[in-house]
Structure 1
């Protein structure tokens, strides 16, 4: 099985290399892993994140380590360009790298260079050679905000190698009881339900949200519908609401902000009512437009404080993006049908604070109910915010355990 694992990784690398000549993300993935010179540390704390979403998810624990152990060196690795390219200069780390491909030699070289005292991986990404090397060196490895599902390879008859990978983990901090039961079914009991650190992150953000005067001026005391992290399939649906509700303002914050993607979004919208955020510095009169397109990265988590209803993108593709950022501000959240992998989305639906829609008819029915019944919308808002507040605390659980187990 290990032979197949190693072969699979090399095939994956070759495919990325093939795409790198014409795909920007693939190009960054390859280039970022070439000619790296590692800073050698006498000791460090290693955080790994698959992408930007996992960075934000694990950030409360990262920030806590930085504040409690300011003299410790912190190393961050990312698998994806969407994390590395945006957070490569974060002051929370002493060094930030792309994670080299998971080979035995790469794992030995990298871990020898950074010399971690402990390693923390957020949610997922289970790499055999890195985990094995940490285990061989006696370095404790923690998984935080982990979540497991029955269809994962760990729980299949052919998942022996992947179960071995889990055996290298010192302790699992998982999101739910189902994950505990699934791990126990393969004789892994070094786990506890800590909850999801994203709740800590989004709640802290909501309490100390960055003020955006331009957005307040754009809203102009009107109702505001925010479509966040959207893809074209999402945008086509939300666009149908614009003319139906001329007294509402709309903000689109697309997941991808290339010129091509922004132009495609604009093609779905009434042409005389759209302003791009980048235009506002020179054309403040455009604040009177009904629609504002956010053509930068990093504003969305603060934008939600001005919203009244949120649509979260991704639900017509691989899966929805972060619903909790909007819920923390008390917004009803609407999203597409692909949410099965997201516990918080299922929880919000069960509470009546989240709504999954499959087409424009269901979207309009949901929006009509929220817009035309203020009492109902207010009740939904209260449930949404309350759900986030009730689930804060995972960081404290994790830090309490790790500080007892590891002397820094």
Structure 2
């Protein structure tokens, strides 16, 4: 196993070096590298040696949202602790940095042996919490050597993962350094047991607790009040070109007297927004154009394009019907955020592996469309039938309410290590 760790360490170092070339042309890779340059200085400044620290690591934004309810429970119970959140990718850190006063946020250095040792020696966490899929062999080994409990939360295991393959020795070895697993489903528990691990509890997905919090906050947006009025409103969130192609036939036919739509594309670069506006045709306005305009500007529009980030969840609260993008090519986006508002959700056909989507499709709360014709029929059906919207939306509300509670269970379990 010593040799395996040596080659793993070498591979991580080589990957970090080779990434400098594509970083010249790719902004995300550039952020991935440059964002890590000031990590050690940041940690030295942030860390208060006289305080215990709870550390949570998330790969990206979605995993952070899963870990956040647990972190919030711990903050209430242990207010004197320091809290540190680390991210693997820019899509998590760049969106959430500075969003929680008093909580440290930074990138996690690449998983080399030297970086893992330096990180643990500098941060000295009382406990480490890794969300969902995050397994870092060198860090896990150093945590074990330092006697620091390492807990995996809201974790999912699948048969195709490296742990269950002949070549996954180092990943299986890393799992031995985890003191406890809080897994999302029975399948994950069974897979862990197939490797000889009994230290686990099935407690569900913490994201249900997170999305339920959305209902308790102020979701009012003045511009949406004026834009929607008394009309039926479709909100299409996190759409890609493939989704837009499917939606276009219906969107072009919207009767502005009775219906309206909000498009929140994944790509919001000016050239992409301009191209989308041209496709959608007359009566399409952008969020960036609203400032300084009167109410009539919003009331008379058919389609509103959100060329901004950070407000989609609040916009969903005004929807009578939601379409969630990514189900045609890129990977399905968050279906729980619109579903929590008790509305029907429509997606594309590629949702395998998205557990909550699979469950809601089976229950009938999510409908799947495979082409523009099917999308036109399904969306029109819901836009024209308040009764059908209510019936389907209730399925989503009840499902989410029945699935809550994982974060409280996990926080209670973590308490014994603190």
Superposition TM-score tier, normalisation by shorter sequence: over 0.9
Cα pair 2:219 2:317 within 8 Å, conserved: no
What is the match of residue 211 of structure 2?
A: 202
Residue of structure 2 in register with 1:251 after alignment: 262
8 Å Cα contact 2:54/2:84 also seen in 1: yes
Q: For the residues of structure 2 that align with 1:49 and 1:114, how far apart are their CA atoms? A: 16
Indicate conservation of the 8 Å contact 2:262/2:306, yes or no.
Answer: yes
Name the counterpart of 2:107.
98
- Cα deviation, residue 104, structure 1: 0.6
1:244-268 CA-partner distances (Å, limit 9, x unpaired)? 3323111111223221322232232
Identify which of 169, 174, 177 aligns with 1:165. 174
Cα separation, partners in 2 of 1:41 and 1:146, compared to 1, 3 Å: same
CA RMSD of aligned residues (A): 1.6
What CA distance in whole angstroms lies between the structure 2 residues aligned with 1:46 and 1:194?
Answer: 21
What is the aligned partner in structure 2 of residue 275 from structure 1? Answer: 285
2:340 is aligned to: 328
Deviation per residue, 1:187-219 (Å, 9 max, x gap): 111111111111001011123242112111110
Specify the alignment match of 2:48 in structure 1. 41
Equivalence map 1:26-65=2 (5 Å): 26-36=29-39, 37=41, 38-39=43-44, 40-42=47-49, 43-65=52-74
**Structure 2 match to 1:318:** 330
Long gaps (5+) in structure 2: none
Asked if residue 70 in structure 1 is aligned to residue 79 in structure 2, the reply is yes
Contact 1:180 1:192 survives alignment (8 Å): yes
Aligned residues: 405
Residues 236 and 268 in structure 1, CA contact (< 8 A), matched pair in contact too: no
**Distance of 1:31 and 1:52 partners within structure 2:** 19
SS in structure 2 at match of 1:116 = coil
1, 5, 9: which one pairs with 1:2? 5
Question: Secondary structure of the residue that 1:207 maps to in structure 2?
Answer: coil
State whether structure 2 residue 318 is matched by structure 1 residue 306: yes
User: Which residue does the alignment assign to 2:349?
Assistant: 337
Normalising to structure 2: TM-score of the pair? 0.93
Q: Does 1:264 align with 2:272?
A: no
Corresponding residue number in structure 2 for 1:19: 22
Deviates more, 1:352-361 or 1:34-43: 34-43
> Does the residue aligned with 1:229 lie in a helix, a strand or coil?
strand
Q: Partners of 1:199 and 1:151 in 2: how far apart?
A: 25
Q: Select 2:237's aligned residue among 228, 249, 255.
A: 228
Residue aligned with 2:317, SS: helix
Q: Deviations over 1:146-186 (max 9, x none)?
A: 11111111111221111111111111111111111111111
